[in-house]
Structure 1
Amino acid sequence: MDKLNVAKHVAIILDGNGRWAKKRLKPRTYGHKVGAENVIDICLYAKEKGVECLTLYAFSTENWKRPKEEVSYLMNLLISFIKTKFDILMKEDCKLNILGDTDALPDKVREVCLKACEDSKDNKSLLLNVALNYGGRAELVHAFKNMLRDGIKEDEVDEELISSYLYSKGQSDPDLLIRPGGELRISNFLIYQMAYTEFYFTDTLWPDFTREDFDKALEAYNNRNRRFGGLE
């Protein structure tokens, strides 16, 4: 593993919490709680392996369709996660950043998230993006509306300009997407940024996803031949 060419930007879809809980005859919320506990361990291990940016898909624009009780639990879990784990992120020099429409979040959630982002803005060792109230299509609509608002002319539009209007502006595109949980789709996640991202799918549910699973994903990435449309 020490000889691997580690992906600098890794994105993970945190999938399988509900199914993990159901297998144990527990409520879905229990799976979310255990899944949240796993975030810190994988985050710190990614930093240890040399990953510079880790982007986690935590709550999509479509997740509002879930039962109100589950959505409310997820919002409160996020607040609890930041309050109890933020000191660890600060100690490890991790910078927290939110990708998504924070204006639509409950006031308390938005307040806690934005304060954590502000307090950690000078940290350098790992950029931790949390995609919250995020959807790839909604991100593009948001970007195009802001371009129109700013009076961007047709001949000024190129890929670099579009990227500068995305929530991930200034960041590199993901090198590797990991999706635990057995599903084989990207679920409206970073659809512009992942044009040349390598995908890694595993049946392991997120609460069971370990450092060894992360190593397997990095090893698979290391064996890919990334040509970006060209030839070797």
Structure 2
Amino acid sequence: MKIAVINGTPVRGVTYHMKELFLSHMGSGNEIIEFYPKDFPQFCMGCKNCFLRGEEKCPHISEVDPIWQAMLDADLLVFAYPVYALRAPASIKSVLDHLCVHWTVHRPDPIMFQKKAVIITNSVGAPNGSAQKDVRTSMAWMGVSKIYTCGAPMMGDIFLDKMSQKHLDMLAKKAKACADRVSAAGPVRRKSLKVRLIFAFCKWQHSMVLKGEESPSLDNAHYIRHGWIRARSQA
């Protein structure tokens, strides 16, 4: 199995430990590629080059493209990051913002419909759901149907080297349970209901927008090329 890991922090603390436990339970022989904040692009500038001129025109393409290509090549996507102020850290957001051009509403890659994703987080006492939602939303809009989460709200023990055995055992149990769920799920053979509904809406939206265009936008040309909507001459 090919696994692409997006690490939201360079710190080898609780989140890193959970991620390593999860990967160890996914079995041996996996091909793993990892990215850290040093590999991430700067914050999105809002230039809209990706939407209007093509994603290759992004001023940060040299950092974005290796991450995106690794995601396309992987069977499993893993996002591992701590919870900051109840949300995903800015490092993760900087990656997600640059990948918005690949959302279903713009130019999705059909291979993403076959992906599985895992979100691993930990927080200091706070719930993990809102921070996981940032990635869940982005993955769903890219067409990922199977998304698994593994969160650990820690109370007191926030430094790995000082953590009690009870909490270490809890982290190990959570990581193994998540790995077992992912391993048991098998390949993605069909889109989830949520992804099907999003995709259906986007196809309708693009077909409506196309009626008012003299020539197809990059988004609509992408949809036409994949046979998801029909060009006006074919309608």
Instruction: Please classify the TM superposition score into its range, dividing by the shorter chain length.
Output: 0.3 to 0.5
Q: Which has the larger radius of gyration?
A: 2
Q: TM-score, normalised by structure 2?
A: 0.33
More relative contact order in 1 or in 2 (CA 8 Å, sep 6+)? Answer: 1
